[in-house]
Structures are given as C-alpha cells and as structure tokens.
Amino acid sequence: MNRYPISIQAFGEQAILIEWPEKVEEAILDDILQFSNHLKKKCLEPDQWELLPAYNSLTLIGRHELPDFGKMKRDLKMWYSEATKTRMPARYLWKLPVCYDTEFGIDLLEVSETLGKSVWEVIDLHTRHPYTVYGIGFLPGFMYLGGLPPELEVPRKAQPRLKVPSGSVGLAGKQTGIYPQESPGGWNIIGNCPIPIFDAGKEDPCFIKVGDQVQFYGINHKEHELHTIQAQVGIYAMEKVKLDAKR
C-alpha cells in the first residue's frame, strides 16, 4: 500500500529525483526510507547507485550515465508499489552531550536576550525533545534537524563568522544543529558537543543516519573535557536507544 503520489524525473545524465509531497513530516520521511531500503536490498545493483534521502525527496545517483530513463521510471514505479514488503532499517535515538557554558556558547547570552528567556529556559527547551534527522548534507556529517520548539527561533547572525569551531551547536530560524567541522557559519552558537559526528577514519564515518533522532543533554566543562579525551582515544560509549519500526 503506497500512501503518497510520487513524482519521478531525470536529474541530468546520471541521476533520478523522486519527490514526495512538499511537507516536513515523519510519515513522509518513513515512506522515503522504506522505499530507499527496498531499492538497496532488492532492486538496484550494489555499488552502482548512491541513494540520497532528504526531507521529501530521494535522489538516485548512478555511477555511470543512465542508459534508459523511461525504463528506469517504469521500474521505479513498480518497485515503489512493492516497497512495503521490505522492513524499515533499524533506527536509533542518539543522546548527545552538549556543554552550554558561555565559553563554548558564545552567543547564548545574546540568544537569551533576543528570546526574552533565561539561559536556563533556553537550555531546557533545547534539550527537552528529540529532533528528527531529515537529511545529512552541506558538509560531511552535517544534520538537518527537524522539531525545534518555535520558542527557540532566532534569526541567523547578520555577519557570519569566518570560523566556527568543530562541534559547535547552533540555532538559526527553524533549525538547530552541530557543525561537524570547523567552517564559516552564520548560526547562533549556544554550546559545543565533544563527540565528533563525522570521522573519515572510522569504518562507519557517520554513525547517525537520516531518519534517526538526536536529543541533547547538558554537561559541565569538566565532563566536556573528559568526553573530548574519551572520543579522541575511542573509548567514549555512545548512548543510543533503538526506536520502534513504526513510531
């Protein structure tokens, strides 16, 4: 049973873009991930395709130019109708420590002033609920997180910083997230996560996947130091909880 009308179009010579209704909804993301899993497991030749899910779309990128888009489109429609036969991939809720000290959260005081809330209220709101990972992109390991409480919406900084340290946790508009590497950026920095989200040297360079959830919790400066060292030597134990297949 498919619940959505999907559109399938060629995207240049090597890719196909499949789109769902343009909404930020977990049910849509679930449907996309189930289809993506079905394609990987049952339909597409391994190593020949990259599958990139984000919000309401799934992009298939071929290693080579597409020989026959028309046939591929027909196949994809058929595969979509069978997708529910494949189970959803396992998904996790990751608990990520964040130090909200103003030494790291260089914009925290300004944010609390802009929002008319105390620093504690800002931290409480930011850590209260899990966020859903709707996409990973922009930079290796950068997560697009959905579910920010509307009370935490602040405009991005008028003047972007040339250097935002790796692990910085930021707020901008409806978004919150972690800078996986040092990079320029215009988000309001409210804390720092000592656990690297992306490590090219690891077997699985990015442990968090699209469809997973993350929830932040506050730690003090000493714990931040400790977790930084634990992560560096590879003994930090990630806290994760398996999510139900159907949320």
Partner 1 sequence: MLNVKKAGFFTSIQDQGRFGFRDLGVPVSGAMDTYSASIANSLLENDENAAVMELTMTGPTLEFELPTFIALSGADISPKLNQQPIPINQVHQVAAGDVLSFGKLVQGFRAYLAVKKGFGTAVLMNSRSFYAPITPHHNIKDRMELPIASCERYEPKISSLSPEAFHKEHTLEVYRGPEFDLLDDRQLEALFAGDFTISKENNRMAYQLEQTIPGHRHTMLTSATLPGTMQFTPAGKLIILMKDGQTTGGYPRILQLSNTAICILSQKKFGDTIKLHLK
The residues of the shown chain that bind partner 1, judged by CB under 8 A, are: 9-15, 17, 19, 22, 24, 47, 50-57, 59, 61, 63, 65, 134-142, 144, 180-181, 198, 200-201, 205-206, 209-210
Smallest gap, in angstroms, from Cβ of residue 30 to partner 1?
A: 16
Least Å from the CB of residue 118 to partner 1: 32
Between 110 and 199, name the residue whose CB sits nearer to partner 1. 199
Instruction: Count how many Cα atoms sit within 13 Å of the Cα of residue 144 in the half-sphere of its side chain.
Output: 12
What one-character-per-residue DSSP string does 162-175 give?
Answer: EEE-TTEEEEETTE
Least separation, in Å, of the C-beta of 108 and partner 1?
A: 26
| Closest to partner 1 by CB, 123 or 171 | 171
Q: How far is the CB of 145 from partner 1 (least distance, A)?
A: 12
Phi and psi at residue 192, to the nearest 5°: -145, 135
Q: Which one, of 90, 91, 88, lies nearest residue 34 by Cα?
A: 88
| Closer to partner 1 by Cβ: residue 11 or 236 | 11
- 97 three-state secondary structure: strand
d(CA 17, CA 36): 12
Q: If we measure between CA atoms, which residue out of 39, 41, 84 comes closest to residue 60?
A: 39
Shortest reach from residue 17's CB to partner 1, in Å: 5
CB of 219 to partner 1, least distance (A): 24
Query: Rounded CA gap, 2 and 82, in Å?
Result: 9
Q: With respect to partner 1, which residue has the nearer C-beta, 54 or 106?
A: 54
Helix 26-38 and helix 69-82: axis angle, to 10°?
A: 110
DSSP E strand stretches across 56-187 = 57-62, 91-99, 131-136, 143-146, 161-164, 168-172, 175-178, 183-185
Q: Which is nearer to partner 1, 53 or 130 (CB)?
A: 53
Nearer of residues 182 and 239 to partner 1, judged by Cβ: 182
